[in-house]
């Protein structure tokens, strides 16, 4: 197993002995299969548009379905909410997720581990790449104000943060990471139209692999609300974080992945200074 696979091991759902294995959606009564969908059709809001929404729902397996909300979005689009029943079942034993394989540490524990394991600050370079101008995600992790009641990585005494902000070109990101001696590169992607977040991530991963020897490349971490956390290997990065990730989770992972004695140390962790 490669170091990337070790860090992003995908595990099946841990079954509670008292939990049902096969389930259906729950709406009004147990097992009724009721679901609610929202979507937009490029048609003006009228009876025909509502009929089209019901036709689409039926083709998706929602039947019988009813339009519970329809609103014109300008003269040529209509937004719908459709409610109805599906007959599909979910097998919980087949659910694949990325389990957190490391303990959550306090800021003091993170600093202590880095100081003892590295003997120097851990350098983190962060950015939004491509045309993405949404810094809310990267700032939530890096800025001292943090997110969800947790202070960002700038608060940690043993983490040196270089926040490059938004719309950073991949070559510039690689250059700044080299200049800073980055242990880890954190990239946030919010813009997802036409899978821009996936294309940008693959481009970034390829650029770092070209610019660094395999044993000296910094840890590559990406995050955003539309990423699949199981897709790290396919994207060429070491870890993917989804929506709701907190600074403490990221800091704890960095210790786990980069600090000797932190859990998943790799050979490249000796590459600095």
Element (H, E) at 187: strand 184-188
The values of phi and psi at residue 247, to 5°, are -55, -40
User: Are the C-beta atoms of residues 14 and 97 closer than 8 Å to each other?
Assistant: no
User: Are the C-beta atoms of residues 127 and 165 closer than 8 Å to each other?
Assistant: yes
Decide if 20 is catalytic: no
CA distance linking residue 140 with residue 135, whole number of Å: 8
- In eight-state DSSP terms, residue 167 is S
Query: Encoding tokens for residue 25?
Result: 């959606």
CA distance linking residue 39 with residue 159, whole number of Å: 43
What does each C-alpha distance from 250 to 64, 107, 111, 167 come to in angstroms? 44, 11, 13, 22
CA distance linking residue 176 with residue 212, whole number of Å: 13
Catalytic residue among 20, 71, 108, 145: 145
State whether residue 223 is helix, strand or coil. Answer: strand
Q: Which residue has tokens 């091991």?
A: 9
- Please list the active-site residues: 145
């Amino acid at each position: 197993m490669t170091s990337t696979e070790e860090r992003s091991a995908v595990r099946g759902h841990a079954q509670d002995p008292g939990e049902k294995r096969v389930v259906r959606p729950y709406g009004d009564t147990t097992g009724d299969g009721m679901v609610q969908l929202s979507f937009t059709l490029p048609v003006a809001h009228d009876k025909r548009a509502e009929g089209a929404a019901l036709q689409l729902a039926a083709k998706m397996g929602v039947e019988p379905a009813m339009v519970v909300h329809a609103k014109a979005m300008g003269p040529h689009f209509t937004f719908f909410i459709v409610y109805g029943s599906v007959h599909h079942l979910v097998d919980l034993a087949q659910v694949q997720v990325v389990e957190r394989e490391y303990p959550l540490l306090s800021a003091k524990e993170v600093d202590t581990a880095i100081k003892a394991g590295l003997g120097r600050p851990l350098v983190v370079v962060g950015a939004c790449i491509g045309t993405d101008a949404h810094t809310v995600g990267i700032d939530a992790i890096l800025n001292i104000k943090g997110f969800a009641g947790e202070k960002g990585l700038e608060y940690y005494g043993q983490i040196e943060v270089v926040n490059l902000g938004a719309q950073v070109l991949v070559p510039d990101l690689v250059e700044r990471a080299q200049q800073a001696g980055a242990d880890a590169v954190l990239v946030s992607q919010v813009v997802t139209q036409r899978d821009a977040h996936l294309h940008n991530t693959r481009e970034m991963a390829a650029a770092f692999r070209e610019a660094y020897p395999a044993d000296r490349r910094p840890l590559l971490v990406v995050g955003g609300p539309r990423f699949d956390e199981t897709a790290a290997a396919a994207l060429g990065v070491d870890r993917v974080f989804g929506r709701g990730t907190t600074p403490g989770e990221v800091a704890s992972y960095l210790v786990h992945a980069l600090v000797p004695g932190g859990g998943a140390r790799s050979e490249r962790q000796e590459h600095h200074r």
